[in-house]
Structure formats: C-alpha cells, structure tokens
C-alpha cells in the first residue's frame, strides 16, 4: 500500500519514463530525481534515471542508478531461474 508520497513518486516516475521514450532525457532526469526524492525505495525510478543518464553520456552516474535499482531485485532472480 502506497502513501501519498509513494503515489506522487509513481506519477513522476511514469512521466519521467515517457519523457525518456520521447528523447527528453534531461527533463526525464528531473522528474525521476523527484520520484526518488519522494520515495527512495522506488527501484524503477532509479532504473529509468540510469537509462536516461546513459543516453546523455553520464555513464558513471548511470551505472550507480542502475545498480541501486537492480540490487534490491536480486533476491527475486532465483524465482525466474527456478521456474525454468
């Protein structure tokens, strides 16, 4: 269950994702920064922000965000591999 900050974070995350898809990477990063500020555990916001940073050549910052977004998901990867 999300609190108000979590809901607003998802709105910023989704808008940031759409801006990324439109090639508006710097604007996407601004929205995704706000998503992370509101909900620091929003892993998708970190992943999307990492992708946007990669597209503008901020590779080290991109790696850091992707790492922050993907590491919390690692305990779930065994579910994928155990399925097959």
| pLDDT tens-digit map of 5-22 | 999 999 999 999 999 999
Confidence grade of residue 72 (pLDDT, cut at 50, 70, 90): confident
For 29, half-sphere exposure in the C-beta direction (CA atoms, 13 angstrom radius) is: 15
Instruction: Provide the token pair at 52.
Output: 């946007």
Q: What is the mean pLDDT of residues 50-76?
A: 89
Give the integer Cα–Cα distance in Å for 19 and 82: 36
Q: What is the pLDDT of residue 38?
A: 96
Confidence grade of residue 83 (pLDDT, cut at 50, 70, 90): very low
Comparing 55 with 69, which gets the higher pLDDT?
55
Q: Contact 72/47 with Cβ under 8 angstroms?
A: no
Confidence grade of residue 28 (pLDDT, cut at 50, 70, 90): very high
């Amino acid at each position: 269950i999300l609190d108000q900050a979590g809901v607003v974070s998802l709105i910023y995350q989704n808008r940031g994702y759409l801006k990324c898809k439109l090639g508006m990477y710097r604007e996407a990063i601004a929205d995704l920064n706000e998503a992370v500020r509101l909900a620091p555990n929003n892993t998708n916001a970190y992943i999307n922000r990492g992708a946007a940073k990669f597209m503008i050549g901020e590779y080290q910052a991109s790696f850091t965000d992707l790492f922050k977004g993907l590491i919390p998901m690692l305990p779930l990867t065994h579910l994928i591999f155990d399925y097959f």
